[in-house]
Structure 1
């Protein structure tokens, strides 16, 4: 490019947007803002209702900003040890389950991402097959029972340690890592496990953070497995306790002694929902920057 052309561009200054581009940008911002507000409305309703008094909830079907703020619902919920026990079970299942799932899934995905592995296609087919067909509820219950996992928190972790969809995303991500990096590490004396730990994992933080979020949300929202495999109310996770509170509040038959509360008002139910949602909302901002990158790289290359 000639010197005269560069000088002419500097003289003209930065390129200005056309009128159509400005209109498109404004419309785009307005539409996206409106869509974001629509998505936030249910969360704002839950939070606002948790701080409202029962009389206001009876007269206003949709509350975002209550007329009178009150903490009675949160005092009521936090006054019983049942909620803390259920929270502790959910935290344990989420933390331990996410760690084990990431460990097993990453090791399995790394091994099956190697084209020179014998029987790789057969094993991959067996994993993908589980996405289309499963044993069903009764066979799974029999397996869990025979393994002695009933009425233990491990029944909420071990049967769902590996998710086929998450495995495929992580395997596709590992396949995109250049083989030259691993070969250079092997030349320097790294073992296969050393290559995985020192080379592959540091390059896969985006994928690991994304899959970790998928697993954490799934473990935190565990409900059906707890209903099927756990009869001891002391081992119920937070989601099952929420169900019991809603049933008791609705006046239906339920194990009220396990809930350890009297039938709560609508604000109390909203407070419990807010407390149950808060941990995931606090974790998400820290890994949000990895989320889109990890999910898209794994899916596009797969």
Structure 2
């Protein structure tokens, strides 16, 4: 009898927890969606005033005006190019680094892992980094903005944790078949690491797409500025003023924000299943 009562109490407790968990997540989702919906409505409804989440009418004039500005085409290309380049380089370096640090028999293994962990807590700072890049002659190059975003100690540890979750018997079987370490990496490790590759690739891509500080610090050529820097300059200098063509400035600014975030709003649903699994495995193992 006591066992049945304790089972009912435990079941009731889990049910209450799940209900509270769902309510909390729904509230969190609403808190995230309301600002985005407000920006979206303000970008298409010229009559919007206050907190309105449903537009009275839809006017795409702001988007047409922004997309017609040829001065934004080159910065947009720089953003796309740098994001793709950073993602490719980042995944290449992160997977190689993660594969190296799981080789526990390697001399200096603990020192290497400790050094990577050290950089997660301490860094040289903005000024030493700027002086180093300047002395190396890397100023005014897009690759200078790409490399700092491409490689992250956190991503290496996340990838290392995922690689350690792959059964060791697979490595041993491949070694018995005469496979080299790089062959094991290319034919076994990478094909089994799609969730980690998707989640880390998304981290890198979002970080690079939203990055503007590196382009402000290291890029002086206007043709090499990315889309985010150009948007910032236009908004601060009122370069998006469209009052002369009947478009409010607020509509233009909100439309620009939507254009900036739209690519990853489209991409994320296709990567979600890999993203959740990759982050979960890394969190449990890390």
Instruction: Give the TM-score, by structure 2 length.
Output: 0.87
Seen in structure 2, the aligned counterparts of structure 1 residues 43 and 132 have a Cα distance that, compared at 3 Å, is same
The secondary structure found in structure 2 opposite 1:36 is: helix
Q: 1:29 to 1:119 in 2, by over 3 A?
A: closer
Aligned to 1:165: 154
1:5 matched to which residue of 2?
Answer: none
Contact 2:83 2:209 in 1 (8 A): yes
- The structure 2 residue matched to 1:46, chosen from 31, 39, 49, is 39
Q: State the match for 2:8 in structure 1.
A: none
**1:92-126 superposed Cα distances (whole Å, 9 cap, x missing partner):** 11111011011011001101111101111111111
CA distance in 1: counterparts of 2:38 and 2:86, whole angstroms: 31
Measure, in 2, the Cα distance between the counterparts of 1:226 and 1:160: 12
CA distance in 2, matches of 1:22, 1:138: 53
Structure 2 match to 1:82: 71
Q: In structure 1, the residue corresponding to 2:251 is in which secondary structure?
A: helix
- Quickly say closer, same or farther: Cα 1:180–1:85, change in 2 above 3 A: same
Native 8 Å contact 2:75 2:223 kept in 1: yes
* Greater CA drift, 211-220 or 180-189: 180-189
Aligned to 2:95: 106
CA contact (8 A) 2:241 2:249 kept: no
How many residues are matched? 271
Cα offset for 1:195? 0.2
Deviation at 1:68, TM superposition (A): 2.2
Q: How far off is 1:176 after superposition?
A: 2.0
User: What are the residue-to-residue correspondences of 1:171-186 with 2, within 5 Å?
Assistant: 171-186=160-175
Give the C-alpha shift of residue 177 in structure 1: 1.7
* Contact map agreement 1:172 1:301 (CA 8 A) in 2: yes
Deviation of 1:301 (Å): 1.2
Tell me how far 1:159 sits from its aligned partner: 2.9
- Is 1:232 equivalent to 2:221 in the alignment? yes
Query: Is 1:291 equivalent to 2:280 in the alignment?
Result: no
Segments of structure 1 that go 5 or more residues without pairing to the other structure are 1-17, 250-255
Which of 184, 203, 211 is 1:222 aligned to? 211
Measure how far apart 1:20 and its partner are: 9.2
Secondary structure in 1 matching 2:237:
helix
For residues 23 and 135 of structure 1, the distance between their equivalents in structure 2, rounded to whole angstroms, comes to 48
Cα deviation digits, residues 234-254 of structure 1 (max 9, x gap): 2111221221122123xxxxx
Measure the CA separation in 2 of the matches of 1:210 and 1:31.
24
- Counterpart selection for 2:258 from 261, 271, 274: 274
- 1:120 maps onto 2:109 in alignment: yes
Q: Tell me the distance in 2 between the aligned counterparts of 1:27 and 1:299.
A: 23
> 2-side partners of 1:23 and 1:131: how far apart?
38
Cα pair 1:114 1:175 within 8 Å, conserved: no
Question: After superposition, where does 1:183-202 map in structure 2 within 5 Å?
Answer: 183-202=172-191
Q: How does 1:242-261 map to 2 (within 5 A)?
A: 242-249=231-238, 261=240
Q: 1:271 to 1:171 in 2, by over 3 A?
A: same
Residue pair 2:149, 2:207 contacting (<8 A) in 1 also? no
CA distance in 2, matches of 1:111, 1:24: 41
Please tell me whether the aligned partners of residues 48 and 66 of structure 1 are also in contact (alpha carbons under 8 angstroms): yes
Separation in 2, partners of 1:50, 1:223: 23
Report how far residue 37 of structure 1 moved: 2.4
CA RMSD of aligned residues (A): 2.2
